[in-house]
Every structure is written in structure tokens, then in C-alpha cells.
Structure 1
Amino acid sequence: MLKNKMENQAESKGNSSQYSLVYRFFRKVIFRLLYLFFCLFPLNKKKILFASDSRTDLSGNFEFVYQTLKRKNVNYQYHFFLKESTRAYKTYWEMVRLAFHLATAKFILLDDFYPMVYPLKIRKGADLIQLWHAVGAFKTFGYSRVGLPGGPDPHSLSHRNYTKVIVSSENVAKHYAEGFGISENRVFATGIPRTDVFFDQAYQVKVKEELYRKYPILSKKKVIMFAPTFRGAGQQSAYYPKDYLHLEKLYHALHDEYVFLFKMHPFVKDYWQIPEEYKDFFYDISHYREINDLLFISDLLITDYSSVCFEFALLNKPMIFYSPDVEEYIATRDFYYKYDSFIPGPLARTLDELIETIQNKDFKMEKIETFVDYFFDHTDGKSSDRVVDQLIVDTDSK
């Protein structure tokens, strides 16, 4: 992965100032005034800003778009503002520079929720492009959840100023438009750049070799990857109910044939404490950022409501949806599609059902092909090219 090229990486050692009245006033008021002032400067049609509050390196969709731009040898200036979370401290100088680049960049690229940009009016001639990190459309999000527990204020400004959003298929464009509170003509079915690796055999071989060197046990047994989504209202309250798994029971039922990898959602910071006697079976690799790489060495995916099922379906490998709280989750979060008929694999509501499904290998593989056909307009490994050509280079020439 590319290293973070973010400008001025100096971090405050004490976060107390983050909560001071002066800091909050600067962030909420002075920052916006600075943006308006910098909008008086000329728009730089060759400037691209990558901004994220969910990663500190240039990975995911950002990396694929950046590498494609470099490969095409187009003449752009690149600027990067990358933080690990929305709570991460931004220095005063960083906020000044962020306001300047937001005001003067022709292209502003996001990959997740980015609260500092939403109160701003994107200037004429500029594009705020959301390269959303998820694939497909599964559980409802954003303004699709108005009126549901934890749903947004219908008058919120969040997301509404995107000028362009990418999706994997025309079939989900309406859901993203609704979720982001934008018109459907701002949603483009280019495909998702980071899924290009699923059609790059050389990359897959390289990643497998690297992971097998780092974790030799993965080449000796079949690999189960457990990758559920988080529970809770969002990044700050995210958790996973650990009582859904009984490590001893899983170990005795499956360890002869499998190893079991934990890949928790990045919002969940409470990692698994694995007892010494089970460490030849359970491995917590939640720190490994790019889940796509881990899918290549996984023989079976266990998930619940996570969008990782979309990427894994491209590999035509089996998956199980382990969802003990499915009724409660539907009532509070809801889905764009009927959950039990939508999922491309069997539903297990209890741990015993999960183990039995694995042992019987009853994976309902026939559901995967129609699932991929519906949620992917393109399966050619050229999504990065479409994003760059259609949303950046073509726009730049106009």
C-alpha cells in the first residue's frame, strides 16, 4: 500500500484542546469562513484532493483511483488529508490547509462519512465525488433510515452536497440516491475500484504468497473468515456481541479441518482474547486493513449484515450468514431487500446451526450467480478506469 502522503502530519499530544471552546469554534465557524474566503481564489482544475476520516494510508478505492491516474500519466496535483476516524485531532494548521484545498480543488474525493465537508457549498465547476467504501446495497443507511432508531435528522446536511457517487450496479443507484439524499442522476454505475483485484490473477497469487509466508498455518488447512458488521449507532459506539460465539465449541467441532480468522469491522476496537489452548485454530487479524486480500485465502466466509458478501460472491466461494439477532436487526436497521431471500448463502440463527451447516457443507451455492448478476453491472476488472475516465478525465476536458 502507498504510505500516507498527508501534509503536515504533526499531531497534538494532548487531545484536551479538541474539546475546548476555542477549538470547537474554530472547527465549526472559522473553518467555514476560511473556506468561503478561499473560494475567492481561482479554482485549480488540475488539483485532486483525497480526504478521509477512516484511514491513515492511501488504500481501498483511493489507492486504485490514484494508481490509475498515475498509470494514465495525466497531469494532476495530488493532496491528501487522511485520518483514522472522525474523532482524530486535526491541528489548526491542518484545518486551514484543508479549507484551502477544499475551496480550490477541482476534484474532491471521499471514501466514507466526512463531516467537515457537509456544511460547505461546493463551488461551481468543482466536484465532490463519493467513492463509497461499500459494495452493493444491503442494510439501509443514511436518509433511508429516517424515522428508524438511530436514523438521521431529515433536515441534516450530511451527504447532500455530493456531485457524484459511484455504485456497483444500476439496480442499487436508487438506494444510494435515497441514502445520501441526492438525485439519482448524480449516481454512476462505474463499478467499485477496489473490486478490480478480483479479476487480477497475478495480484491474487502475490497476496496469497505474502499471507502464507506471514501465516504458514493458512496454507495447511481450510480457512474460515469470520467478518461480521458492527452493532451500535456508529463509529463511536460500535461493538460486536461476543457471546454469539463459544470458542471452545467451535474449536472442538472444526479445528481438525479448519483455521478460524477473526476480521472485525474497523469500528470495533475490542479485539478477541484467544485462550492459549486455542491459538492453533483462532487468529485475530482485524488489524489487517484490506479485507479483500484476506478473501483470496479464505475458503468459507461467515458474516451477517456486512457488505463483504458482495466481494466474496465474485470469487464464487461459499458463505454462511450467522445472524442470531436477525429479527431485532431488521426491526431497528432494516434492509433494502428481504433478508432471508436476498442473502447468497444459508442463514444460521444459532451456533449449533452454524456448526452443522459447516460440517454438512450445505452452502446453497446456486444462489451466488444470480446475486452477482444483479449487484454487478461490470465484472471485467476495469472499474478504476471507468471512475477515472468518466468522472475525472472526461470532466476535466469540459
Structure 2
Amino acid sequence: MISIKRFRRLIREMTGLFVILNGFRRLFYRIVIGVLRLFVHADKKTILFNSFYGSSYNDSTRVIYEKMTRDQRFKGYRMYWLIDDFSKMPEVDPRFLVRDNSVAHVYYLLKAKYWVSNSTIELVRQVSVPRAGHVYINTWHGIPLKYLGGDELEQNFATKWFSQVQFDYLCACNDYDGQIFAHIFPRSAQQIHQVGLPRNESLQQKFTQQQVTALKQKLGVPLDKKVVLYGPTFRDFEVKHYQYKNASLDPTGLDTATLTRIKQRYVILNRSHYYVADNRLSKQPAQDSTFVYDVTDYPQINDLFQIADILVTDYSSLMFDFAILGKPILLLQADLQVYIKRRGLYMNPAGNLLPSFTSTSKLYAYLAELGTADYSTLSKQAKAFAAKYQPKQITATTEIIDYIESH
């Protein structure tokens, strides 16, 4: 049996080996970038897209991409998508898919004049491809609520990226996020455009009842119950890959009367943050599959917004987007003080028109008693919240596409 002392030494040796190998890998990509730059030059008719660090095919960059593929002005352009797994994008011709964190990633960064991202696109194995000669457009992926970049309480390679990156065009929704972006992205402070987020343009028009019914049937959701969409953020200060269970909507522990009333009136759509998908609520033991539906892998979150009657979240920027629809938003903030201390918030949404609950039982008790008049009041609060943080008209997609054409 291996001793604890020997085990610890083995771990140190393995960690040291990993650091060395990672260093060699970064050196390899620096050499690749240097060599390819001698032969590969930016092409005005080549565009490279990605979403959430190359992990998915969604969000604002997908909206821009799909509109550009239909725009005759860009006929003949080659539009590539950076992704870590080609099977995630069956809709796109595989000839135009590029493997994330690969030599091909470097090649198409150099080849594409335009980079379009909602996160970061220019880093290959933590090595940055020089931006000179390229046009870098970033939509970002939400109005900031949590501390970002240099404001984060724990600094690392990822947080330092914010102060170093420079965009040519950065989307914002209003003065609130515009000022935060100017602060955390100091080299892009003059390139901020308050045009909203492309992904939110579809929320400016509500689904018809027929569309709502069709999607509910597709997901197997009952038509006669209110839909609660639960979309919490992650806790990057928690161990075990950001797992967090203390403030879930797990009804375990509720008194029988309240639980019965909740199940008679509501169903829950659980939308886990992509960092914690393996810990999603509907995969926890003893869940009632007729009460909790997992929609983490459903590709278009705006569709879920459209069929939801109520959003429950904590510190996620989803609340800013959902508010556009003018439907109730409830906050479950059982760990508020811990979250502020460990992660940091630019503001507490509970102090900005939205009701907050400190426990699951209190939230469920409120939902059980929620009446028509209360629903109307909550809807007015959501509309006021949207008016405070969203632009009156979202024009981002058209603005960005016109910008690309003129640059």
C-alpha cells in the first residue's frame, strides 16, 4: 500500500511534469504562429466565428453568422466556425468547421480578416495570435453582474486577458455595462457601441400561443401548468468543478401540502450553467421527472424564455435578457453574502426592483400563493428592470454586419 508521503511526492512530480509539458506545448504554438505568419495573410472575404470559447454553436455570434449567410452582400465569403467537437454543429458543412486549440485554429485566425466572438477567440493553448491586420468584433455574452477581469477577487491568466485584449467593436446595452466594459477592457474603451446584444433581438417579439404550444409539446411539458425556468450561475470558488447544491430548486424537505400545491400548478425547466452541466438538478437522485425537466442541452435559450412564465435565478445575467419579455423574475439568493465576499457583484439585483428569497422553502411558499394580481405586479417590475438596463431598440446584428462590410 502506497504511503501518504510517497503519494504526495508522486502528485508533486506529476504536477511538475504537467507544467513542463504545458510549457513545451505553448512553445510549440508560439513557433507555429511565428512560422505561419510568414506565409498566411488576412483575407478580406474570410471570417472566423466562435461562441463560448469554442464550446458551442449559439448565442449572438450564431445570430450574426446566420444572418450573414443569407445576406447577398457576403456571397462568396468564406465563413468558418471554431468548435471543440464537430458533432455539436450538424447544421454546418464540416468543411467550414475548425478544431479549437489546434494548428488549424492558428491558420484560420491568420487567414480570417474578421474575428467574431462572444468571449475569446485569439488564444490557442493560452498563446495569443497577434491582432494586427485583423478586425476583432466581440458581442460579449451578457450584461455583467459578477465581477470580471481585474475586478475579480482571484487573479489568474484568464482574468489578466481582459486588460490586454483590444477589440475593434464591442457590444454594450446601456451606460451601466458600457462603463463596466470601459473599465475592465481599457484598451477597447473607445470601441464600445450601445446597440444591445444580437441574441436578444428575437425577444423583442413574443411567441404566438401556437408557437408556445408547439415547443411545450416538443419538450414534453404539460400545457396546463405554469412554467418556471430555473437558470442559476456557477460558483467558481466552489470545489469539485464548480458544483453547488445548497440553493437548487430541489423540493426535498418541503412540507407535503406546499409540495402538492406546487406540483399541481407548476413545472420546472432546469437550465444549468455550462460549467456545471454534470451537476444539473434533474440528474440528482429522487427527482420527479414530471415536475423537473432538464433543458440544459437545448440549443436556443430564447425559446425557453418564450415558453417560461417565470424565471428563477440568482446572480446570472439571464435576468437582464428575460426582462425584455416583461415576465416575472424571482431571485433565489441563499448564499448572497458568501457570493459577494468570494466572487463579488457590481450591484445586487434584489435592490433593483426584483424580489429575492433566502431559501427554497420561502420561494416555493411564495409560488404556491402567487395570484393574478401578484403576477401583474411582478411583470411591471420586470418591465421597469428592462427599461433600466436594456436599450429601447436592439440593432446590434445589422450594425455589426454593416461594420464588417465597411471595414
Deviation at 1:166, TM superposition (A): 1.4
1:293 is aligned, of 303, 325, 333, to: 303
Match of residue 371, structure 1, among 385, 388, 393: 385
Match of 2:325 among 315, 328, 338: 315
User: Which piece of structure 1 moves more, 154-163 or 93-102?
Assistant: 154-163
Deviates more, 1:180-189 or 1:150-159: 150-159
| Distance in 1 of aligned mates of 2:214 and 2:134 | 40
Q: Which deviates the most, 107-116 or 299-308? A: 107-116
**Compared with structure 1, are the counterparts of its residues 285 and 350 closer, same or farther at alpha carbon in structure 2 (3 Å cutoff)?**
same
The corresponding residue for 1:32 is: 30
Q: 1:79 aligns to what? A: 80
Question: Hey, what does 2:228 align to over in structure 1?
Answer: 224
* Deviation by residue 1:54-81 (Cα, 9 ceiling, x = unmatched): 4555322122101221222214211222
Q: Return the offset for 1:364.
A: 3.9
Partner of 1:88: none
Amino-acid identity (%): 22
- Aligned mates of 1:298, 1:45 — CA distance in 2: 42
Change (3 A) 1:333 1:24: closer
**Matching residue of 2:268:** 260
Question: How far apart are 1:103 and its partner, in Å?
Answer: 1.7
Give the Cα separation in 2 of the matches to 1:29 and 1:241.
40
Q: Which amino acid aligns with 2:79?
A: Y
Instruction: Find the counterpart in structure 1 of residue 61 from structure 2.
Output: 62
Flag the 1:187–1:205 CA change in 2: closer, same or farther, 3 A. Answer: farther
Q: Using a 3 Å threshold, how does the CA distance of structure 1 residues 306 and 59 change in structure 2: closer, same or farther?
A: same
Q: Which has the larger radius of gyration?
A: 2
- How many angstroms apart in 2 are the aligned matches of 1:181 and 1:235? 31
Q: 1:244 to 1:56 in 2, by over 3 A?
A: closer
Which moved further from structure 2: 113-122 or 281-290?
A: 113-122
- For residue 80 of structure 1, what is the amino acid of its counterpart? W
Alignment of 1:202-241 (within 5 A): 208-233=212-237, 237-241=241-245
**Alignment of 1:351 onto 2:360:** yes
Does the aligned pair in 1 maintain the 2:48–2:116 contact within 8 Å? Answer: yes
Q: Unaligned 5+ residue runs, structure 1?
A: 1-18, 85-90
* CA deviation vs aligned residue, 1:154-189 (integer Å, no higher than 9, x gap): 993456223232122243112123233434112222
1:95 is matched with: 102
- Offset of 1:126 from its aligned partner? 1.0
Partner deviation per Cα, 1:366-392 (whole Å, 9 max, x = no partner):
432332222222435x321122113x1
- 1:119 and 1:48 map into 2 onto residues whose CA distance is 20
Paired with 1:92 and 1:37, the residues of 2 have a C-alpha distance of 19
Cα separation, partners in 2 of 1:356 and 1:251, compared to 1, 3 Å = closer
Question: Structure 1 349/95 Cα, relative in aligned 2: closer, same or farther at 3 Å?
Answer: same
CA distance in 1 between counterparts of 2:19 and 2:37 reads 26
Number of equivalenced pairs: 365
1:112 to 100, 115, 119: 119
Structure 1 residues 266 and 24 mapped into 2: Cα distance closer, same or farther (>3 Å)? same
TM-score normalized by structure 1? 0.80
Amino acid at match of 1:368: A
More helix by share: 2
**In the alignment, is the contact (CA less than 8 A) between 2:49 and 2:65 conserved in 1?**
no
